[in-house]
Amino acid sequence: MQKISKELNKNKTLIENIFKDNPNFIAKELTIFGKSACIYFMEGLIDATYLADYVLKPCLKYKDENFDALNKEINKSNKKATKNNLSNLKTQINKSSKSSNIIDYILKNILIIGKLEVNDDLDALVKEVTKGKGIMFVDTCSKYIILDLEKVQQRAITEPPTSAVAKGPRAGFVENIKTNISCIRKILATNNLKIETTNVGKYSNTMIAVMYIEGIADKKIVNAIMEKIKKINIDGIIDSYYVASFLEEHKYSIFREVGQSEKPDIVSAKMLEGRVTILVDGSPIALTLPFMLFEDLQSSNDYYSENSHSSFVRILRFLSILITIALPGVYIAIQLHHYKAFPLKFLVTIINTTQDLPLTPFLEMLLVLILFEILYEASLRMPKYMGIAMSIVGALILGDTAVKAGLVSPPSVMIVAVSGITLYTVPDQSEQISILRFVFTVVGGILGIYGMVLFGLYLLIYLNDFDSYGVSYLSPYAPYYEEDTKDGIFQRDLLMMRKRPKSLHNKNKTRIRR
């Protein structure tokens, strides 16, 4: 840890050498208390008006006559000082400045910025400058002042696209971590809300904040998370997903172990249950741990509306997942292996529609599935003004022309379309479900219903073995916690959820008191 020097010129040389290839690295020299000072900052990252109004003006205008006189005396006394004189002078300086040194004095009496820090580490200095902070050196001082002049450029707080609600708060996180923290603070106005921050990323120096409620969250989990985050040794963190990758305990699994949310109300509610939130600067997606699969079946809307309706909707979501995963596979399995399962009238329809098709049922289904995936990807990437044209092309080509041309059968298109619609009832799991849909289709085609059941059982056993920070992935149903099932598929009234989830290793179980 390299420290800075007391001499300003030496510091200047040092710093200018570090940032020599940065044309937007600016140095502003000034005098304060008769001493030379220098402010360093990155042009474009700081708020210039803020610098001028709250730093430069006060510094330049400041005239503490007493301090000037004392300073002169100090200078004089340095030349021919007597012990008594020095001690007197020091006492006077102490009285008038009310601080032990100049830096302290400047912090308390001159600068008007709210957040000011002091440091003497050179590496930290470099990080702060690159982050958009200003650095102030004063000659003869062994420390520098960190000026929070960061220009906060962010988009407005809007409703996140993947977490839209009919009723309830619509605020979403933005890319600035401080704003995000403030959003959570507004909801959880308690001093028990603890935030532990760290910077990660060799070149990005990204700030990561780990938030939890003391007295509710399990400290072991917090420590485990902090430990993992501190061990991250990477060039740069661009998004919270980078951090999530480090926090996951099972690599090579398609199932995610870290919860994600873009809404402060969801994240706050999760923290109140005992979870830990991780915010990453530059990413609007907050991470929550531990994570259970059932969380994706829950939506914030469920808690802001009638619980009977919420239960109904959760059942629908669950059924939608099953339909998405299983429907194409079941259709193929029945066509290839279990024609007995079709009722007669449906069988007649299948026979009529699959007559004289050039592709076998399996190939046909795979083709339609792949085409739909391509359509989805294209719709994500294409410019908005082309959206209408593409939707017409997609609908006409896939839905109508392909069927009329006898390339694919209407039941296949319909099944994949239904499966595609149900896929997005649970958007957080859409990636996993999309892959599983393919796998089940292949398995169903190869082994029929037997293969699908076998693979389904394998998946269930695999998920049951999938603990995330000591919490079972399929809680609260496996293992079964009766109390937790009050917020399960059948959601009970909020007043009945008096205890925090038992599946999370939280403290202070009661959340609603009589």
Partner 1 sequence: MKGNLKKVFRFKTFYILLAIALFMLPTTLYMPSQAQSRAIVTAIGIDKTEDNLYEVTLAVITPKSGGQVGGGSMVETGTGQTVAIAMHLLSINFGKKLGLQHCDSIIMSDDVLKDDITNVLDYFIRTNNLTSDANLINCPKSAKELITQGASSQASSVANINDIIQYNNDFLYSTNVTIYEFYNRYFSEAGAIYMPIIELEGEKNILDSYDTKTQDNEGGSDSQSSSSSSLSSNSSSSNSSSSDSESSNSGASNSKDSSGSTSSGGDATNSSKLTSNGKCAVIKKGVKIREISENERIALNILSKNSDKGIIGTSNFTEGALNNATIIMQLVNKDLSVKGYFENGKPKIKFDVDMIVKPDEIIMDKMDLDAITGLTSFMTPKLKQALIDNINKCINELIENMKTYQTDILFVYDNLNRFHHKELENFLNTLEDKSDYLNYVDFETNINIRGKI
Partner 2 sequence: MKKMLTSRQTAMLLFMSIISLKFLVFPALISKYSQKDSYIVVFLFLLFEIMVMFFILMFIKKYPNLTFKEVLSNTFGEVFSKIIYIVLFIYFLFKTLLLIKETHNYFLEAIFDELSWWFFILPLTIFITYVMTKNIKILARTIEILFWFLVVSVGISFVAPLYNIDLLNIFPVFENGVYPIFNAMFYSVFSFGDYLLLILFMGKIKFEKSTVKKIMSYMIFCLIFITIFYIVFVALFNNSGINHILAISDISVRSGYPYSQEKLDWLAILIWTIALLFQIGFYALVTKNCFDEIIKIKNKMIPALIISSVLFVFSMILYLNLELTLKIATSIPFIISALVIQIAIPLILLICFIVLKCKKFEDKNNANNEMILENKNIERTNQKNKKNTTKKGGARV
CB of 457 to partner 1, least distance (A): 14
Closest CB 465 distance from partner 1, rounded Å: 12
Q: Is 368 in the site for partner 1 (CB under 8 A)?
A: no
Q: Applying CB under 8 A, which part among 127-135, 188-196, 441-449, 490-498 lies near partner 1?
A: 441-449
Q: Which is nearer to partner 1, 203 or 462 (CB)?
A: 462
- Give the whole-angstrom CA distance, residue 111 versus residue 37: 14
DSSP output for 276-316: EEEEETT-S-EEEES--GGGGG--HHHHTS-HHHHHHHHHH
Whose CA is closest to 111, among 79, 86, 145? Answer: 145
The entry of partner 2, partner 1, none that residue 169 binds, CB within 5 to 8 Å by partner kind: none
List the interface residues with partner 1, window 284-323 (CB under 8 A).
none
User: Is residue 340 a contact residue for partner 1 (CB under 8 A)?
Assistant: yes
Q: Yes or no: say if 444 and 451 are a contact pair by the CB < 8 Å rule.
A: yes
Choose the one of partner 2, partner 1, none that binds residue 507, judging by a C-beta under 5 to 8 angstroms depending on kind: partner 2
The reply on whether position 464 binds partner 1 by CB under 8 A is no
Closest distance to partner 2 from the beta carbon of 447 (Å): 6
Q: Does 351 bind partner 1 (CB under 8 A)?
A: yes
Q: Does 328 bind partner 1 (CB under 8 A)?
A: no
Instruction: Report the nearest approach of partner 1 to the CB of residue 479 (Å).
Output: 25
Rounded to whole angstroms, how far apart are CA atoms 321 and 249?
Answer: 25
Terminal CA-to-CA distance of the chain, rounded, Å? 55
Asked whether position 362 contacts partner 1 by CB under 8 A, the answer is yes
Stretch that binds partner 1, among 7-15, 81-89, 298-306, 330-338 (CB under 8 A): 330-338
- The sign one gets for the Cα dihedral 284, 275, 183, 513 is positive
Nearer to partner 1, 64 or 248 (CB): 248
450 binds partner 1 (CB under 8 A): no
Assess contact for 425 and 433: CB atoms under 8 A.
Answer: no
CA distance 221 to 95: 49
Vertex 280: Cα angle to 274 and 282 (nearest 5)? 150
* Residue indicated by tokens 């959880």: 188
Q: What distance in Å separates the CA atoms of residue 79 and residue 61, rounded to the nearest whole number? A: 29
> In the complex with partner 1, which residue's Cβ is closer, 26 or 347?
347
User: Using CB distances below 5 to 8 A depending on partner kind, what does residue 106 bind out of partner 1, partner 2, none?
Assistant: none
User: What is the total count of residues that contact partner 1 (CB under 8 A)?
Assistant: 28
Confirm or reject binding of residue 350 to partner 1 (CB under 8 A): yes
**Which partner from the list partner 1, partner 2, none does 363 bind, CB cut-off 5 to 8 Å by kind?**
partner 1
Residues interacting with partner 2, by CB under 8 A?
A: 337-343, 447-451, 453-454, 456-458, 460-461, 464-465, 472, 474, 477-480, 507-510, 513-514
Among positions 252, 381, 383, 510, the unique one binding partner 1 when judged by CB under 8 A: 252
For residues 351 and 341, what is the distance between their CA atoms, to the nearest angstrom?
Answer: 14
- Cα separation of 108 and 118, whole Å? 12
347 is a contact residue toward partner 1 (CB under 8 A) = yes
Running DSSP on this structure, what letter comes out for residue 210?
E
Residue 478 site contact among partner 1, partner 2, none (CB < 5 to 8 Å, cut-off depends on kind): partner 2
473-502 residues in contact with partner 1 (CB under 8 A) are none
Q: Which of residues 402-431 bind partner 1 (CB under 8 A)?
A: 410
348 binds partner 1 (CB under 8 A): yes
CB of 297 to partner 2, least distance (A): 14
441 vs 104: CA distance, rounded Å: 70
Of residues 283, 354, 412, 425, which one binds partner 1 by CB under 8 A?
Answer: 354
Which CB atom, from 224 or from 446, has the smaller least distance to partner 1? 446
CA dist 354 and 343 (Å) reads 16
| Amino acid sitting at position 147 | L
Tracing tokens 């409703």 back to the chain, one arrives at 159
464 binds, among partner 2, partner 1, none (CB under 5 to 8 A by kind): partner 2
The candidate with the shortest Cα–Cα distance to 147, out of 60, 64, 42, 67, is: 42
Q: Which is nearer to partner 1, 64 or 249 (CB)?
A: 249
**Identified binder of partner 1 from the candidate list 134, 361, 476, 501, rule CB under 8 A:** 361
3-class DSSP state for residue 106? Answer: helix
Element of type H or E holding 388: helix 387-394
**Least separation in angstroms between CB 140 and partner 2:** 55
How far is 507 from 429, CA to CA, in rounded Å? Answer: 29
349 binds partner 1 (CB under 8 A): yes
Q: For helices 361-381 and 307-336, what crossing angle results, to 10°? A: 140
What, of partner 2, partner 1, none, does residue 508 touch, CB below 5 to 8 Å by kind? partner 2
Helices and strands in the chain, H and E counts = 19, 12
Token reading at 211: 């938030």
Q: How many CB atoms lie within 10 A of CB 40?
A: 24
For residues 105 and 93, is the Cβ–Cβ distance under 8 A?
no
- Closest distance between partner 2 and the C-beta of residue 311, in Å? 17
Q: Which stretch binds partner 1 (CB under 8 A): 63-71, 276-284, 442-450, 502-510?
A: 442-450
Sign of CA dihedral 104, 108, 112, 115: positive
Note the residues at the interface with partner 1 (CB under 8 A): 252, 335-340, 342, 344, 347-356, 360-363, 410, 442, 445-447
